[in-house]
Homo-oligomer: A and B are copies of this chain.
Amino acid sequence: MTIHKIARLAKVSIATVSRTINGVPTVDPVLARRVWRVIEKQGYYPNRHARSLVSGRSRIFGLMVPEAPNAFFPEIIHTFARLCIQHNYQVLLSAICQDAGLLETAARQMIERRVDGVAILTFREQESLVEIFRDRNVSVFVIDSDRPGPLLRSVCIDYQHGIRQAVQHLAALGHNRIAFVSGPAHLKTAAVQKNAFHACMKEIGLQVAAEILLEGDHTMEAGAEAASSLVSLRHRPTAVVCSNDLMAIGLMHKASELYLDIPGDLSVVGFEDIPFAKYMIPQLTTVQISREEIATVAFETLFAAADPAINGDTQIVSSIATNLVVRGSTSMGPGRVRDGRRSRAGRAHAQANRFI
């Protein structure tokens, strides 16, 4: 079933069939209708390989995401995929795995398939990956690049806004000794977030003692360690902001083991708002990063870059907002509690209203 058969059945040339399919306006409506009828009757689906080969555009985007178990990326994948389908694009997926060889193979496959662009959606920098694509003139989209260009599109996440909300939320609840668990030093964003935290604390006149500035590698284990560290302090903080949800969750687990009541003894704020967050007991208050927005910006940027009709320099949005989602893991600090420590029952009740 090829274009030739359709042409023969519709008694036109293959050129007319091609024009009809591609919506060229100069086709006689009568012929076009005839062609469409045959196409539908025969259930003809044009061969995309042939189209890609001759047109030079594959209408495929590569998508590379880490295989982290934290449920942050699946939603991105699906949003990106949906947008692609809606715009008659297809998604070639690959995980960003530890195995450098496999990763390179994946990149190579995408290039062999002549993708019109690649979205590398991860918080870790992937310099070598980006370079591979740049060498082949493939446009790439990444998160938080500090030096985007014509072939390297990017959008920055406005961490400061979310962190400010978190800090001010806690301060408003009467906390003045607020700890921060940053990400691993090798992540550029870790420094950005830490600085943002400092700035936000300073804004409202709160001190940041060195001992309540911790660092973790974004795993639950790291969160657990942070909990242990905080508990061992002479002068404990009454609230803590974690730079990702997984650490916040690990911290909550460990706190529970250490007979620390959350949020009674310690208010906890996470970052990202992964699906787990609202399945915790108590549900985790966290700074949300919109996965849908990231996927949308990534797609639209690549789409614009791939479309020859569009000026390649169009910048869609300047940054991705972050927003605090208040749930059950934060409550009033020592300065505000009137009726003593809140009871477990009280928390359960308060939480009931936020269920799901």
Q: How would you classify the secondary structure of chain A's contact residues: helix, strand, loop or mixed?
A: helix
Verify A46–B82 contact, CB threshold 8 A: no
Verify B82–A102 contact, CB threshold 8 A: yes
Question: Which residues of the partner chain B approach A114 to less than 8 Å between Cβ atoms?
Answer: 47-49
Taking A49-B113, A112-B48 as contacts, is the C-beta distance between A43 and B135 under 8 angstroms? yes
Question: Which residues of the partner chain B approach A69 to less than 8 Å between Cβ atoms?
Answer: 71, 74-75, 275
Decide yes or no whether A105 CB sits under 8 A from chain B. Answer: yes
Question: Which residues of the partner chain B approach A88 to less than 8 Å between Cβ atoms?
Answer: 109
Binds B, one of A90-98, A140-148, A156-164, A201-209: A90-98
Query: So how many copies of this chain end up in the complex?
Result: 2
Choice from B92, B259, B280, B345 contacting A259 with Cβ under 8 Å: B345
Verify A348–B257 contact, CB threshold 8 A: yes
Decide yes or no whether A256 CB sits under 8 A from chain B. Answer: yes
Min C-beta distance of A220 to chain B, whole Å: 6
Choice from B75, B85, B259, B345 contacting A109 with Cβ under 8 Å: B85
Taking A92-B90, A348-B256 as contacts, is the C-beta distance between A112 and B45 under 8 angstroms? yes
Decide yes or no whether A192 CB sits under 8 A from chain B. Answer: no
CB nearest to A74 among chain B residues: B74
Question: Which residues of the partner chain B approach A181 to less than 8 Å between Cβ atoms?
Answer: none
Taking A85-B102, A85-B106, A92-B91 as contacts, is the C-beta distance between A47 and B53 under 8 angstroms? yes
Bound-complex Cα distance A53 to B349 (A):
63
Verify B94–A91 contact, CB threshold 8 A: yes
Decide yes or no whether A63 CB sits under 8 A from chain B. Answer: yes
- Supply 9 further A-B pairs (C-beta < 8 A) apart from A43-B136, A256-B348: A43-B135, A49-B53, A71-B71, A74-B74, A81-B94, A86-B105, A224-B356, A252-B281, A256-B281
Q: Give me the 9 closest cross-chain CB pairs, A-B, nearest first.
A: A67-B78, A93-B93, A74-B74, A78-B95, A49-B52, A49-B53, A48-B112, A49-B49, A48-B113
